[in-house]
Amino acid sequence: MSGGKLDPIDRHILAELQADGRMTNVELARRVGISAPPCLRRVRTLEEAGYIRGYHAEVDPRALGFEVQVFAMVGLNSQAEADLSAFEQRCRDWPLVRECHMLNGEIDFILKCVAPDLSTFQSFLTGQLTAADNVASVKTSLVIRDAKNDPAVPFEVLEERLNRTA
């Protein structure tokens, strides 16, 4: 189901929870303009339908000692589905890999990695990533600073599009 099939209250619930997943159901209901029991039912329905995948605290990696953030662009020898799936599973098993995205074009995957220091990342890079089956090439870029890091969905863009088509 696409975002356009949700009603405005459901989209408002998602936008509010995305901004503050810790608010109480009573506060959420107040913000979206409905009473608490139907609000809770809607939230549970959104969870069951997969629109809400989880609730997380946003932690500061640097405050926890993860000083290094690297993007690794990975090229594979084979793009057969079994080989792609095997690489994706391996990425899920590596703790330093926080995101793994398959791309279209020259690069097969881009990985977002974090490490406490450069030597830890280098050990991962040479001992695991470049040594992995089917990996043909790895190019890395060290993050200097974050100008924007917002994993949220821009609901205002969705609302504008829905209002134009209505």
| The pair of three-digit structure tokens given for residue 144, joined into one six-digit string | 């200097």
pLDDT classification of 163: cutoffs 50, 70, 90? confident
Asked if pLDDT for residue 69 goes beyond 50, the answer is: yes
Q: How far is CA 7 from each of CA 4, 18, 36, 121, 159, rounded to the nearest angstrom?
A: 8, 17, 17, 45, 11
Please name the CATH architecture into which domain 3-57 falls.
Orthogonal Bundle (1.10)
| The pair of three-digit structure tokens given for residue 86, joined into one six-digit string | 């095997």
Q: Are 154 and 11 in contact (CB under 8 A)?
A: no
Give the E-state strand segments of the chain in sequence order. 68-76, 97-102, 109-115, 135-142
d(CA 6, CA 35): 19
The pLDDT tens digits for 10-52 are: 999 999 999 999 999 999 999 999 999 999 999 999 999 999 9
User: Where does 68-142 sit in CATH, by number?
Assistant: 3.30.70.920
Asked if pLDDT for residue 58 goes beyond 60, the answer is: yes
What single-letter DSSP state applies at residue 48?
H
| The pair of three-digit structure tokens given for residue 137, joined into one six-digit string | 């090439």
Q: Establish whether domains 3-57 and 68-142 are of one fold.
A: no
The domain locations on the chain are 3-57, 68-142
